[in-house]
Structure 1
Amino acid sequence: MSIKKVVLAYSGGLDTSAIVPWLKDNYDCEVIAFVANVGQGDEELAGVEEKAIKSGASSCYVVDLREELIKEVIYPTLKTGAVYEGQYLLGTSMARPVIARAQVELALKLGADALCHGCTGKGNDQVRFEGAFAALAPQLKVIAPWREWQFNSRQSLLNYLAEKNVPTTASATKIYSRDANLWHISHEGGEIENPWNEPSDQIWMWTKSPEQAPDKAEHIQLSFEKGELTKINGEVVAPVKAIEMLNAIGSEHGVGRIDIVENRLVGMKSRGCYETPGGTILVAALRALESLVYDRTSLKYREEVGLEFAQLVYDGRWFTPLKDALLAAATSLADQLTGDIVVKLYKGNVTVTQRRSPNSLYSEAFATFEGDEVYNQKDAAGFIRLYSLASRIRALHTKAGQ
């Protein structure tokens, strides 16, 4: 297939800097760089357009996707309670649908006939991007250089860039692989490739260690409407600003660090260290609000939806009917998730200290250990007799057969 114009998901790092001239060499095509601003920070975005042009791209588009990421992916996912393998708050996974969609939209707008990404053949992201491409624009060819080219090391990429006179600030001694967005930052490689090694201080970039965190706890009040954060300490805060604020406060108190060995979609295990301070606070607050509002069977179902949704997001199946169905169920339940939660942050911990909701099912009149006039304890005897009826019948049969 002849390729005339390709839109590349570009970051300005070593890999994508090399991909630009490689595409021109191997496909003799025009390369358009697409940069997604998902909150990775001004430092990573500084000068990225100029860098792309110097690498050989005909143009570079920087698209701000931060609000879309929160409103269309993060907040809906929070309603499902999705947590991958019990710990991972899906920071990298959740950013991929909005990035892939915006890349496809640009490609269609510019009349491109191909899409390109810099994901390796070992990771999850290749599946996430290409799954989205298949759902949104199956007619576009997908080019994955790491599955085609001859380069196999950072040094070989650096040599290629030098040969092509493409400037780069990368070096052959990069230790860690990192991915940052508004929700989290991930760290892989270096000493943590050995699961017996404790992460060194240079791993963590956002959060203070619990040992260095303040000795005084801080309380924050979070207000939710239908499962979405609306106020912090009584002040209305827009979504992007809200996450930034919670990240800053949580980081100061050492909140949101995890160190896990996870199962990748492609079959191998990998170790990652993740920092998700604001997300950790939000998850704790929402679980507390659920405990007030959801009845027992509703909570059980939400937990089942959360397990399935976490797997779906991690595996890159966002643009599927199953996502729509699961999200519809979680969103319906979350209509009741309105209320206020107070959390205490202290030395890496998030502790819920206060909770209230107009939809609360908690009744002090029923739950009290003091005398009450609303609950007849004698009623429990009949309930227990019926609840244990199957066990009683089984026991009777066993006794009769002896």
Structure 2
Amino acid sequence: MSEINKVVLAYSGGLDTSVILKWLQDNYQCEVVTFTADIGQGEEVEPARKKAVSLGIKPENIYIDDLREEFVRDFVFPMFRANAIYEGEYLLGTSIARPLIAKRQIEIANRVGADAVSHGCTGKGNDQVRFELGYYALKPDVKVIAPWREWDLLSREKLLNYAEANGIDISNKRNGGSPYSMDANLLHISYEGTVLEDPAREPEESMWLWTTSPENAPNEAEYVELEYAGGDIVAINGHAMSPAAVLTELNRLGNKHGIGRLDLVENRYVGMKSRGCYETPGGTIMLKAHRAIESITLDREVAHLKDELMPKYANLIYTGYWWAPERKMMQQMIDASQASVNGWVRLKLYKGGVYVVGRDSADSLFDARIATFDEDGGAYNHADAAGFIRLNALRMRIAAHHRQLKK
């Protein structure tokens, strides 16, 4: 192993990262600093502190940070200004969390004078790319240790045996816990593995942890009104809220009404297809509402340009290029478009569906005098359409004449 003096490990306190912690100590003979991010995963993060101490980590080398507000304010909200979805469906819940974790991990490395960082991502997934692109963008000379690409502990049984042999508590791992590989934050929860590796099999209802099934959702619809300023939600039903509070409340509403489930086969950046299931209740509501407020506040060509840019923007986030100059450039364009995205949207939530039932804005470009089917008092001259159509048809008329001459 190359000489490493101090490493900052992205540490959850679970089986994989606890084994990695011990493995780093044994194989690199280095000082380990643990970093646990609270980004709204819904689990207690303090047990990670106790677990790290039990593995010999000094208290001053244990970092547990509440990043929920920063996560939504600086990462989730900017992404939703772009209406970003990957391959037409995925709301990028895992992808958007990685640049924040990488950023904070590098900040800690700089603070404690570490010469390396480490993560628990496998060599088959996208997350290794997302983390490491972030590391190198923010600290170009940092050393990265990716144990899954180095060790021979390539099965769950080998991990459990290593943990047992090294006194790592696995009392709840042998015969308990979820069979799925899961990732959660304030935006979503994902499920992979076991029966989901057969794309033909329907996931069992017991797998879904965040949302009521649409069949069991309330039989009565619920209305919710979202207020926007600069493209971001600032209030729900008239109550001003912080970004994290907004997403928390929308998750609650989405959960109640069975909103936000997704079963997807996606194309991973590393080359394979992968089947994953996702619950993104609040994000599903946010996307529908944001497009609704933009529909009355954005110029047509600006809106269409945003839609053209969105797949590229979403792909950059999916593949880990949040810190890349092209994503930052696109973000400036997107954010500039949001200056007029102010007002409110009213939604109806019912049995898995999100329905827009009203929207208004002081910056609205909707002009009822022109759009009306009744007499418009001369606001629009119908005769103007004839010349407009003939000019737009000119190239097709020329081509048609040319074909007739050839015959």
Normalised TM-score (structure 2): 0.96
Which residue of structure 2 lines up, in the alignment, with residue 217 of structure 1?
Answer: 221
Which residue of structure 2 lines up, in the alignment, with residue 47 of structure 1?
Answer: 47
Measured in 2, the distance between the counterparts of 1:292 and 1:247 equals 26
Shift, 1:70, TM fit: 1.0
Which residue of structure 2 lines up, in the alignment, with residue 147 of structure 1?
Answer: 149
Which residue of structure 2 lines up, in the alignment, with residue 34 of structure 1?
Answer: 35
Which residue of structure 1 lines up, in the alignment, with residue 5 of structure 2?
Answer: 4
Measured in 2, the distance between the counterparts of 1:60 and 1:78 equals 33
Which residue of structure 2 lines up, in the alignment, with residue 180 of structure 1?
Answer: 184
Which AA in structure 2 matches 1:385? R
Matched, 1:393 2:398: yes
2:352 corresponds, among 342, 348, 351, to 348
Which residue of structure 2 lines up, in the alignment, with residue 301 of structure 1?
Answer: 305
Which residue of structure 2 lines up, in the alignment, with residue 23 of structure 1?
Answer: 24
SS at match of 2:94: helix
Deviations 1:121-150 (A, max 9, x none): 000000001101111112221100000111
Which AA in structure 2 matches 1:132? G
Which AA in structure 2 matches 1:53? V
Which residue of structure 1 lines up, in the alignment, with residue 234 of structure 2?
Answer: 230
Which residue of structure 2 lines up, in the alignment, with residue 116 of structure 1?
Answer: 118
* Structure 1, unaligned runs of 5 or more: none
Shift, 1:304, TM fit: 1.7
Q: Does the Cα contact within 8 Å between 1:7 and 1:31 map onto a contact in 2?
A: yes
2:131 corresponds, among 129, 132, 141, to 129
Measured in 1, the distance between the counterparts of 2:171 and 2:143 equals 31
Shift, 1:337, TM fit: 0.7
Measured in 2, the distance between the counterparts of 1:225 and 1:154 equals 48
Which AA in structure 1 matches 2:13? G
Shift, 1:55, TM fit: 2.5
Which residue of structure 2 lines up, in the alignment, with residue 252 of structure 1?
Answer: 256
2:387 corresponds, among 378, 382, 393, to 382
Deviations 1:7-65 (A, max 9, x none): 10000111001011111110011111110111112x34141101112123333110111
| Pairwise CA RMSD | 1.1
Which residue of structure 1 lines up, in the alignment, with residue 282 of structure 2?
Answer: 278
Deviations 1:326-353 (A, max 9, x none): 0011001111111100010000000000
Matched, 1:326 2:327: no
Which AA in structure 1 matches 2:307? E
Q: Does the Cα contact within 8 Å between 2:46 and 2:64 map onto a contact in 1?
A: no
Which AA in structure 2 matches 1:189? G
Alignment of 1:357-376 (within 5 A): 357-373=361-377, 374-376=379-381
Measured in 1, the distance between the counterparts of 2:250 and 2:219 equals 19
Q: Does the Cα contact within 8 Å between 1:37 and 1:66 map onto a contact in 2?
A: yes
Normalised TM-score (structure 1): 0.98
Shift, 1:172, TM fit: 4.1
Shift, 1:6, TM fit: 0.8
Q: Does the Cα contact within 8 Å between 1:55 and 1:167 map onto a contact in 2?
A: no
SS at match of 1:91: coil
Shift, 1:398, TM fit: 2.2
Q: Which 4+ stretches in 1 moved above 3 angstroms?
A: none
Q: Does the Cα contact within 8 Å between 2:348 and 2:356 map onto a contact in 1?
A: yes
Measured in 1, the distance between the counterparts of 2:148 and 2:356 equals 46
Which AA in structure 2 matches 1:96? R
Which AA in structure 1 matches 2:384? D
Which residue of structure 1 lines up, in the alignment, with residue 202 of structure 2?
Answer: 198
2:295 corresponds, among 279, 291, 297, to 291
Percent of paired sites with the same residue: 49
